[in-house]
Structure 1
Amino acid sequence: MTQFLKRAGVSLFVLIAGLSIGVSAHAASAPQTPTSPPTSIMGINLAGGFTQEPIDSNHVSGDTVTLAAQGTRNILEAITNPFGSRKYVWWESTDGGDTYSTVGSNSTTYTFTAPQVSSPTQLYFQCEYDFTGIGLFYSEWSRIATVTITPSRVPTTDIQVTSDSPGLYNGESTTVHATLTPSTATDPITWTSSNPSLASVDDYGNVTATNTSSDTSGTANDHGIVTITGTSNGHSDSVKIAIGALQNVTVNEGSDATFTLKDLPDGMSVANWYRVEDGTATALNSTSTSYTVAKTTVGGDNGTSYYATLNYTVNGSTKSVNTNSALLTVNKSGLLALTAVPNFNFDSVDVDALCADSTTLENHDYGTAGSAYDGNDNGELSVMDSRTTGGDWTLTASLAPFTLDDGSDGNLGTTILDLYDPTSRLDENVPDTSTATKIYTSSDYDGQDFDVTDSELNLPPAPQIVAGDYQSVMTWTLSVAPS
């Protein structure tokens, strides 16, 4: 194992038999390179670093100035080095950044009184998150913050607010920044959140999202849009930040609804998606970064919620964490439409048998190559009704006479299609005479889904039948009576 010491930019490795103790000593000669931002998701820190950086600011001589920073240990360090520790060390440069000396220790904040100056003077500060303990873990370094001291107040005339991130997963943090006009303005900035229980903001613009709720209904206050506002000398500006891995989705009935995990961190993968209805979660067997609910309905999908389970690996072991649950709202769109009609394939019958007697053929749910075939082999017959006003709708069907492929008669005779759906008690006879037959009438503004896979075709005796392939076209008509 090795002992790592960092002094004046030189790395020394000293072998110590069987033990590695992390010790750091820093010369007061130059600033250290800031550590990359931590990689984390929903409060799980996959890589350590600073979750809050000290910010630049302007002050008047005699002001009380406070700088703040917040560091985090990565999850591997926390697991493998539970008795190790870190402390905060603050460094200051008063000579333009040429040399630094320690000014504060073991606190996330450093407070001082701005010195008396006769002209604008810049002080530089950097925070070290110093590691002490067993293991080869390095100190983390914040960005260098510039504090400008002026002899008198410079009023703020405008403010523009931006955020380091447009969205946060639960338990994560980001920083909002205020650009003041003029750039030398010394008035303080006050930060507020439109929903502090969803995402809080401190005095330094550090925004922290709430943790994921155990409530999977999609109605918990753990996701949504929060507005962060900065105010200085009566001037305000805001920025919106999306909180939560998933956001609610609202669509009109019949449209697809897609839930998307944006910016999934490296090292994280989707283990599965889940649909929650009436408190019961059902696995959806999907590992994509998005999940789509196709052709949503008010009756079947409105009020359901969705979440994902994410996997990550720590020290060779796979761990899991759930995202927040997001709600699906399906609105009635005012649309009445016939969304699916079936194809039928009645296979074959022996010519001699048909010549002698009537025959009943069962539908088979596999495709056919007929010219009227449109691809729906699963017996689906569906009407969507998302209206809130209007008259009753009626569905009718007419069946053209069966003919041979070349269009000739073939002497099949009049056949009857028994359109049958046991679950919806649909049982109607449709002759192949091109006569409109009423199939169903609805008066409650609700769509209907039928499964007519079990339909049958009744053929009369046909002594003069010609052998061959027969087909017919079925015409469906959806109409509305005047209200």
Structure 2
Amino acid sequence: MRKWQRQLTRLVIGLLVGLSILNIGVSAQAASTAPQTPTSPPTSILGINLAGGFTQEPIDSNHISGDTVTLSAKGTRNILEALTNPFGSRKYVWWESTDGGNTYSKVGSNSTTYTFTAPQVSGVTHLYFQCQYDFTGIGLFYNEWSRIADVIIMPDRVPTTSIKVTADSTALYNGEITTVHATVTPSTATDPITWTSSNPSLASVDEYGNVVAADTSSSTDGLANDHGIVTITGSSNGKKDSVKIMIGTLQNVTVKEGSDATFTLRDLPEGMTVSNWYRVEDGTATALNTTDTSYTVNSASVAGDNGTSYYATLNYTLNGSTKSVTTNSALLTVEKTGLLSLTAVPNFNFGGIDAATLCQGDATLDNMDVASNGSNYDGNNNGSLTVTDSRETGGDWTLTATLPQFTLDGTNSSHLGATTLDVYDPADRLDQNVPANNEATTIYTSSDYDGQDFDVTDSQLLLSQDPLVTAGDYQSTVTWTLSVAPS
């Protein structure tokens, strides 16, 4: 019984293999075929191929009789095929048409390149080539087909008089590939085209015009050479033209102090989402807990934000499992603008106290950090007291506060007794008492050109005993004054 089972297993396997070989024979061994529809370019991000296809296509070119002509193509299997069909493979099959693209015959196989000698011709002759990325293995994975390359053969040299360079894509994620093209005048010019990159380590270009973006660096300081702009130049017969290509998922941002700075992820492939954003300062990364496709630093400052960097982690699903990939880090530069300004002042709300309590003794009220509808409220309710200083020259600045007596709302006759506002920010060691006597009190003096952003949420109001206090709502208005000493 066991022997019979082994024989049947061999028979079934042999039958399956035989069917697979028969299928390959039909698609790859035919003497001629009609031109095939080129496969869509592969979808990838940060070097991860979410869909397979040709990462390098055969290009159009012009030659004279007797030239050695080499066509090149490269394909990639998508990540799902590589994982689920590890024993499968693909090979390259080259097809040529000599009848204007009506029919194609196989001319080469199992190589990323195909080389031939240009035939002797008496006039303009077009040869068309297409590369097949042939699947071999078990599974429903289709053959990929390249674009059709037009190789023009001329009997004699035709000089290039002008050149125009374009790119299939002018923005690449890290690890992605695109192709640059040269349109020459006249269209039959046979002078060779050479390609150069202004920054080969950021993006290289080969002899066929294939541009490969650098991989994402492991550095998170935003200074790595894995993002920025690269210039690709094509030259022919001394004529030159260039195209600029942006490399990297994120780009550096430069703003003037006080402006918003936004880092944006370009269009992500379908199914890829943002897991989180991170801010890096002095080598320490802090999660920003947002999944938006952009992140904005509000009112960027030289002191707090200049030199920080930002990156994001992205999620995608593969075979039912969630995978993660990290973008490059981009740098934030905040420039001084020559501006000195008081950009935020706080509102205070000290709640209430029973009149009988104040009649009997002193009291201290904490700022409640809540909004109020009082007529004197014209600042913010989050405790921000901010001075922006973007100057590079000038004298020291001083911030003072003037506080008049508290008056009963709607009247000018009833006042609180002796009252003091304690402006307090423990983080920046700010602790200044401002008496309600309508005289200026110095809050802070700066001896450099850095602004300050105080959080005075924890400020208090110190009330002296007042036996004559009248119940009601009391208000006063703080006048904040920013002044500069002569240079």
Q: How does 1:383-402 map to 2 (within 5 A)?
A: 383-402=387-406
Pair 1:316–1:427, CA change in 2 (3 A): closer
Matching residue of 2:331 = 327
Matching residue of 2:199 = 195
- TM-superposed deviation, 1:366: 1.3
Matching residue of 1:12 = none
- Per-residue displacement from partner, 1:128-174 (whole Å, max 9, x unpaired)? 00011111111100011111111111111110101111111111100
Matching residue of 2:63 = 59
Deviating 4+ runs (over 6 angstroms): 16-20
Letter of the structure 1 residue corresponding to residue 203 of structure 2: A
**SS in structure 1 opposite 2:450?**
coil
Q: How does 1:206-217 map to 2 (within 5 A)?
A: 206-217=210-221
Give the root-mean-square deviation of aligned CA atoms: 1.9
Matching residue of 2:459 = 455
Pair 1:119–1:17, CA change in 2 (3 A): closer
**SS in structure 2 opposite 1:134?**
coil
* Comparing 418-427 and 67-76, the one that deviates more: 418-427
Matching residue of 2:117 = 113
Q: How does 1:52-91 map to 2 (within 5 A)?
A: 52-91=56-95
Which residue, 268, 283, 286 being the options, matches 1:264?
268
**For residues 423 and 122 of structure 1, what CA distance do their matches in structure 2 show?**
76
Pair 1:468–1:87, CA change in 2 (3 A): same
Matching residue of 1:143 = 147
Letter of the structure 2 residue corresponding to residue 59 of structure 1: H
Pair 1:216–1:447, CA change in 2 (3 A): same
Aligned residues: 468
**SS in structure 1 opposite 2:259?**
coil
**SS in structure 2 opposite 1:76?**
helix
- TM-superposed deviation, 1:297: 2.2
Is 1:170 the equivalent of 2:171? no
- TM-superposed deviation, 1:320: 0.9
Letter of the structure 2 residue corresponding to residue 63 of structure 1: D
**Unaligned 5+ residue runs, structure 1?**
1-15
**SS in structure 2 opposite 1:349?**
coil
Matching residue of 2:12 = none
- TM-superposed deviation, 1:258: 1.3
Calculate the TM-score normalised by the size of structure 1: 0.93
Pair 1:380–1:223, CA change in 2 (3 A): same
Are 1:411 and 1:462, in contact at CA under 8 Å, matched by a contact in 2?
no
- TM-superposed deviation, 1:38: 0.5
Which residue, 32, 37, 44 being the options, matches 1:33?
37
Is 1:234 the equivalent of 2:235? no
**For residues 41 and 173 of structure 2, what CA distance do their matches in structure 1 show?**
15
**For residues 199 and 120 of structure 2, what CA distance do their matches in structure 1 show?**
40
**For residues 408 and 75 of structure 1, what CA distance do their matches in structure 2 show?**
77
Matching residue of 2:284 = 280
- TM-superposed deviation, 1:444: 1.8
Are 1:171 and 1:209, in contact at CA under 8 Å, matched by a contact in 2?
yes
Q: How does 1:283-432 map to 2 (within 5 A)?
A: 283-374=287-378, 376-432=380-436
**For residues 100 and 106 of structure 1, what CA distance do their matches in structure 2 show?**
17
**For residues 345 and 248 of structure 2, what CA distance do their matches in structure 1 show?**
40
- TM-superposed deviation, 1:188: 0.9
**For residues 395 and 269 of structure 1, what CA distance do their matches in structure 2 show?**
46
Pair 1:21–1:321, CA change in 2 (3 A): farther
- TM-superposed deviation, 1:274: 1.3
**For residues 452 and 33 of structure 1, what CA distance do their matches in structure 2 show?**
68
**SS in structure 2 opposite 1:282?**
strand
